[in-house]
Amino acid sequence: MFSLIGNVPTGRGGCTRRELLKFGSWGLAGLAVGSGSPRSLRAAAAVRGFGRAQAVLFVYLQGAPSHIDLWDPKPEALPEIRGEFRPIATRVPGMLLSEVLPRLAQQADKFALIRSLGVKPRGLTNHGASIYMLMTGYDPSNFSPTGLAVPPSPQDPPSIGSVIARFRPAARGTPSFVAVCGPIREGSVTGVGQFAGLLGGAYHPLQVYDDPTRTLRLETLELPADVMLGRLQARLDLRAGLSPSRQFGSRDFDTYYEQAFSLLESHRAARAFRIDDEALATRERFGMTRFGQSCLLARRLIEAGVRFVQVNWPAGSDTEPAPGPDGSWDTHRNNFPMLRDWRCPVFDQALAALLQDLHDRGLLESTLVVAAGEFGRSPKIGAPTTNNVGPGGRDHWPECYTALVAGGGVRGGLVYGASDRHGAYPRLNPVHPYDLLATVYHAVGLDPATEYRDNLQRPRRLVEHGAPILGLF
């Protein structure tokens, strides 16, 4: 999707109308999908969870919360590992959460937890490489030796939202991929893994990073008072007539014009962004915070037909943790007061309200919700490392962490996989982040082995490797 707010990288993609989409084999299921015949489509539909989701709502907790202190408590571990929080029971017998998530504990029958995510990222365990892997399904090839991020490039593999915008576009007049709350930031680099890369700028997200606790500015989604729709159409027709061979604009720009005109024509997107139309009681249920209101805005966008909505936590991935509702999850020090007093109350209220609201409106079954950071936090508290851990802090830990998934055919009340007794490494059913992305594609009816062509006409898979986690469905 294109961007109306903020700067994004540009560049032509390699996809054409005649590109061949090659569907690989369904490893575990033993199915060949891709001919498009009624028989093959019926076979694909028979695979658990395939195509159950009409939309995806990705809650990205940039900065990476501690899995042990939220999702995967270790009450039997030593104090320097289990930390200050006690576990609490949930609506699902046997599933424990941390005491800082009391509202989500009451929604546990609606979601599943994957407690065995783990990866060894390229370079050191910094945020950038792990973000890139989580968002694109590819190992980073252009990062520094220490795993630090570089600016987004047209040569990057596309983000998961851009892939869905390309292969599962929304109806005309509705954006396919919208990112809200805040940009992805790692150090001085903005937009790691967020854009369309090789697919071309037409599939960039529509970025709306204004604070939704205030009235959102909608000038870019509405015509100026002195311009009528017919007048704008005449201008577009004139432009097309002056450049029949596309000498004055790329295919991406033609798509931008078409998409922008369809948004202005339908008014559907503008209505979805009018969050002030929500009842005050509903807004307060989500929490009058930037993140809480962004989750409510995400529900409105899903309701309006957007295919992929990404809610990015407002603080950057390596921002120094500080008091306040918009502070960072990157708790190298003061982990427990930051989580107890600020991060978890905001997150717990908003995500619990989102799941309940989607359920009450009949949207949860057709909407896959994913909540995850780029990695977890180290089991041992305050251990001195190269990542400058201070008193009461936890370091980066990509080797093992947890993701929440709900809706879109996922079975609620499920715990998939398990970590070891310290939460340090997967013990049962290890899951790679690429498996998580493959599961999202599976849920929306895309074979993860689907191929597209890059700008050198080389075939590229949607994910470098991995398979759907069929046990979730």
pLDDT at 386 over 80: no
Q: What is the pLDDT of residues 61-88, one digit of tens each?
A: 999 999 999 999 999 999 999 999 999 9
Residue 198 lies in a domain: yes
Residue 275 lies in a domain: yes
Q: What pLDDT band is residue 143 in, cutting at 50, 70 and 90? A: confident
pLDDT at 20 over 60: no
Looking at residue 305, its pLDDT comes to: 97
Residue 156 lies in a domain: yes
Q: What pLDDT band is residue 470 in, cutting at 50, 70 and 90? A: very high
Query: 142-156, 236-250, 442-456 — which is least confidently predicted?
Result: 236-250
Residue 105 lies in a domain: yes
Domain that holds residue 107: 63-429
Looking at residue 43, its pLDDT comes to: 54
User: Which of 273, 282, 276 is closest to 349 using CA atoms?
Assistant: 282
pLDDT at 26 over 50: no
Looking at residue 237, its pLDDT comes to: 62
Q: What is the pLDDT of residues 229-268, one digit of tens each?
A: 566 566 656 666 665 545 444 556 566 656 665 665 557 7
Q: What pLDDT band is residue 142 in, cutting at 50, 70 and 90? A: confident
Q: What is the pLDDT of residues 270-290, one digit of tens each?
A: 899 999 999 999 999 999 999
pLDDT at 317 over 50: yes
pTM (predicted TM-score):
0.86
Residue 148 lies in a domain: yes
Looking at residue 456, its pLDDT comes to: 87
Q: How many domains does the chain have?
A: 1
Span 306-326, average pLDDT: 95
Strands 55-60 and 308-312: parallel
Looking at residue 265, its pLDDT comes to: 57
Residue 401 lies in a domain: yes
Of residues 450 and 234, more confidence is placed in 450
Residue 461 lies in a domain: no
Of residues 392 and 10, more confidence is placed in 392
* CA distance linking residue 65 with residue 443, whole number of Å: 25
Terminal-to-terminal C-alpha distance of the chain: 29
Residue 459 lies in a domain: no
